[in-house]
Structure 1
Amino acid sequence: MYAAVVAASIATLTVDANEASAHHGWSEYNDQKTLNVTGKIQQVSAGNPHTTIRLKSGNKVWTAVLAPPTRMERRGLPQGSLKAGQTVRLVGYPHRSEANEMRVERLIVGDRTVELR
């Protein structure tokens, strides 16, 4: 019995540590510099902790970190509304060390503007 409790505790701590390391802090993004990027979505990955999209703009491909799926849905952008091939405009902050990665604060698709934070 004791061994089972210890094993379960270790498994829980390992999962929690993995989830924590997968989630980065917002301090990794430079909120003193605003990016405004328009392009076509290449890929959408909806999941926790954040939805991400790959966006081609000119010669660059951006990794854009959006809000969690539940927040996006509450803000009027349900899962499945972003699709490869759509043109979107992203407003957000660049990552301090990862080139072509940004944290998105506002997403404009068609005539809709969605505030993510």
Structure 2
Amino acid sequence: MRSPLAALWTGALVLGLVLPAAAHHGWRWTSGNNIELTGIIQDAKLGNPHGVLTVQADAETWTVEVGQPWRNDRAGLKDGDLAPGVEATFIGEPSADLEDRLLKAERIRIGERLYELYPGRS
């Protein structure tokens, strides 16, 4: 039989590992305000749990989180839309710490077309 202290330590360890990941994949780490970021995609890793782009915007390199594959499909994004060399404008919430240069995209504009990853979210 386990001691109550061992169970407490095990629970604390599990929470310590799970909570940071849950907070990152939600919206808690963002500022709560939208910005627009226009740049050229340098690298794209699309897949689960969400796609991650490296975007060169002016003299800064940003990491832009886009949707899961099903969310990108539902928004109308096709293969090649989020590829290196594509210029896009990303509208979404940046990290609460702007020095992170991390943005969670809610909408993506490529040319004249607007893709809504999170319809109804402002």
For normalisation by structure 1, the TM-score amounts to 0.76
- CA-atom RMSD in angstroms: 2.1
Structure 1 equivalent of residue 31 of structure 2 = 30
* Letter paired with 2:67: A
Matches of 1:35 and 1:79 in 2, distance apart?
A: 25
> Is 1:93–1:104's contact at 8 Å kept on the other side of the alignment?
yes
> Is 1:63–1:100's contact at 8 Å kept on the other side of the alignment?
yes
Structure 1 residues not aligned, in runs of 5+:
1-16
Give the length in aligned residue pairs: 100
Structure 2 equivalent of residue 66 of structure 1 = 66
* Letter paired with 1:106: R
Q: Percent identity?
A: 32
SS in 2 for 1:92: strand
Question: How far did residue 79 of structure 1 move?
Answer: 3.7
Question: How far did residue 96 of structure 1 move?
Answer: 1.6
Structure 2 residues not aligned, in runs of 5+:
1-16
> Is 1:94–1:102's contact at 8 Å kept on the other side of the alignment?
yes
Question: How far did residue 82 of structure 1 move?
Answer: 1.5
Is 1:111 the counterpart of 2:112? The answer is yes
